[in-house]
Every structure is written in structure tokens, then in C-alpha cells.
Chains A and B, each alone.
Chain A
Amino acid sequence: MTVTTGRAARVKTRYGAPNHEGRIWLFMRLSGLVMFVTVVFHLLYMHMVVRVENITFENIDARWSGPAGLFWRLFDASLLFIGMAHGMNGVRFSINDYVHNRFLNLMLTGIVYGIGGLLILAGSLAIIFGVGGLGRLIGMG
């Protein structure tokens, strides 16, 4: 009996890479998986180990300056960057779904990117210079 097989392999050689939206879709899936682990860990650690009443600037500053400081800064940086990119892209999806006016769409997307960029900048400065360092940097410390 003759059975047609192997078309998939032929298609693979003929078809190109996924486009921009496809890569973003993959990013959303992968970042969602990563955040499932990091956010659950973050919540459990902050609520069960640190406990809510102890979440203060001083406490976070001490953790970032302590012996595992580099780990905590990298961990919080991953929460910041992946969370913000995932969240901002989700808002962009909603804008693209519901705002059909091109000008309004661009304006709202710009505002989202602007706010997101500022939050990432503030978070990055805090992680790099420390909570107290950021305060001194902007003249509030």
C-alpha cells in the first residue's frame, strides 16, 4: 500500500520564520511560564518568610546589601523586566483589539510605553543603586 508521507518536512524547508506578532506570542507564553514560578516564589517568600508587617525599605535595602544581595537584585530585576514587558504587551494587545482609530491607537500605545519605560527606569535605578541610593540620587534621601 502506498501512503503519502513526509509533506511536513517539505513544508518546513519552504516556509519562513514566524513574524513579529508570532515572536511576541512566544515571548508572552514563555514569560508567563517564568513569571508563574518567580511570582509565586516572590509572594510566598514575602508573605510566609519575610511576613507582610516586615516589608519595609530598610528590610529590602538590607536584603540587597546582604550576602545574597546579588541574587536578590537579579531576581527582582527579572520580576521587573519580565513583568513590565509582559504587562505592557498585554495592554498593547487590548489597545490593538479595541482602539481602531490609528492616531488614538498610536497615542495610547505611546503613553503605555512611556509609563512602562519610566517604571522600568525607576526600578532599575533602585536595583542598581539600592533603595537608599536611589533616594540620595534624586535628592530625597
Chain B
Amino acid sequence: MRIKMRIRRFNPETDSSPWWGEYWVDVEATDRVLDALHQVKWYQDGTLTLRRSCAHGICGSDAMVINGRNALACKVLMQDVGDVCQVEALRSMPLIKDLVVDMEPFFAKYRAVLPYLINEELPAAGERRQSQEARARFDDTTKCILCAACTTSCPSFWANEDYIGPAAIVQAHRFIFDDRDTAADLRLRALNDVDGVWRCRTVFNCVQACPREIDVTRAIGEVKLALMNGGD
């Protein structure tokens, strides 16, 4: 099948503002948007710039806006995009070039929730054991791959870039409800702010955008309830 790719291009050295480039590509119905972008880059315009690494929905580096929705280019099939496939960089992030955005503000917020296990006590027998029930409590939020699709789909984040965003809250959730961790209070304190978890307006865009099908809004709701209940 022959598909028109509309790609939002921007070269900071030559362009004053982004523009739409149009390219025709021949693809199989089961090819992915990433394959179509490769066709453009490898055979039509080598200056097209994009991030991708594993190309199999695990590393989260090729999140972009595809036909208006945030998704991983390596997980969207061409048969699902229609006759025209419109691709642009993630919204509300500093644009570096073409489809590449500066992820540093995103990772600064990620670091703010202390996304690592904190427990000063030495494990009893060389490892910290955990029941299946305790693990299930935060299983959903362990699936996050930090692609930023949720945060950049959030209208609260579009309106106010100081908002910590759903991805950081999901990462906080993963440790707040881990019974091996002892620093939930520090994370909750970081999120108990007008630009923290309370900026969430329950729009559910994050749930639609998540390529890992994490129930993001539920996780945010659980963190809000933990704050209301004073910790759990």
C-alpha cells in the first residue's frame, strides 16, 4: 500500500519555525509507522531526525504524536493509520530537531520523586522478599517505560509545564506502594503540591496514550487517596 507521510520538520539551524514535509512511501499493511519513517530517512531524506532504539515497544524512545494521538512509532501498524499518516514530535517539550525533543525537563521531574528503592535496613537473608499480594499492589505501575507519551498528552501539562506530570506520579506510585520501601513519605511530600498530584484534573488522556496500557489515572487517584489518608 502507498501512504502519504506528513512529518513535522524543524531544523534549528535553518528554520525559524516548524513546517510539514510530505513523503510517499510503499509499505505493507503490517509494517509499523517506524518502518515508514525509516523508509523516508534511509531512501528519501537522510536529514530526518528521530529517536528509536529497540524498535519493539520496550525502550520507549520513539514516542511521538501520530495522527493526533501520542503513541510509540514502533507499535502502530500502517493498516491502522489511514491513507495519510501525520507524525509530529511530542507536545509541550523543547523541540531539538524534527521528531526529537529535549527529555531533560521530563527526567528532572522523574528524579524529583526519588524513583529508586530506599530502605536503610539490611535485608535479613541477603534479599528482600515480598509476597505475591504485596507485589500485585503496584504491579501495573512497574510497566512504565518512561516514554513520556502520558505526560505530553495531558492538557494540565500543556497548560502548565511546572506540573510534575502523570509519568512521575506513576513512578512514585511504583515505590510508594512497595512494602520493601521506606521513603513513601518523602515522595508523597514531593507530590503534595499545587504543581504535584493536585494539578491532575482526571482527563484520562494519559490512559489513552500509554503504550503499556497502564491505568495511569487510577494510579494517580491512589496517590491522591494515600495523601488524603495520611500515607496509605
Contact = CB atoms under 8 A, between A and B. Distances in A.
Question: Do the two chains bind?
Answer: yes
Interface of A: 1-19, 21-22, 24-26, 93, 96-98, 100
Contact of A22 (B130, B134, B181, B227): B227
Given A11-B184, A19-B193, A97-B160, A3 B131 contact: yes
A17 B192 CA distance: 10
A7 B182 contact: yes
The 7 closest A-B pairs by CB, nearest first: A11-B231, A8-B232, A21-B198, A15-B231, A12-B231, A97-B159, A15-B185
A4 B184 CA distance: 15
Interface of B: 124-125, 128-131, 134, 156, 159-160, 179-182, 184-185, 188-189, 192-194, 198-199, 201, 224, 227-232
A98 to B, nearest CB: 5
A12 B198 contact: no
Contact of A15 (B129, B188, B201): B188
Nearest to B227: A18
Contacts of B231: 8, 11-15
A99 to B, nearest CB: 10
A22 to B, nearest CB: 5
Contact of B129 (A2, A17, A25, A93): A2
A96 B194 contact: yes
B130 A3 contact: yes
A9 B229 CA distance: 11
A25 B185 contact: no
Given A2-B125, A12-B231, A7 B194 contact: no
B194 A18 contact: no
A27 to B, nearest CB: 11
Contacts, number: 80
A17 B160 contact: no
B232 A11 contact: yes
B128 A22 contact: no
Nearest to A97: B159
Given A10-B182, A11-B184, A93-B201, A26 B228 contact: yes
Contact of A5 (B179, B184, B189): B179
Contact of A25 (B156, B181, B182, B224): B224
A7 B192 contact: no
A8 to B, nearest CB: 4
Nearest to B124: A2
A15 B184 contact: yes
B79 to A, nearest CB: 38
Contacts of A93: 201
A41 to B, nearest CB: 25
Contacts of B129: 1-4
A14 B129 CA distance: 24
B149 to A, nearest CB: 21
Nearest to A23: B228
A32 to B, nearest CB: 11
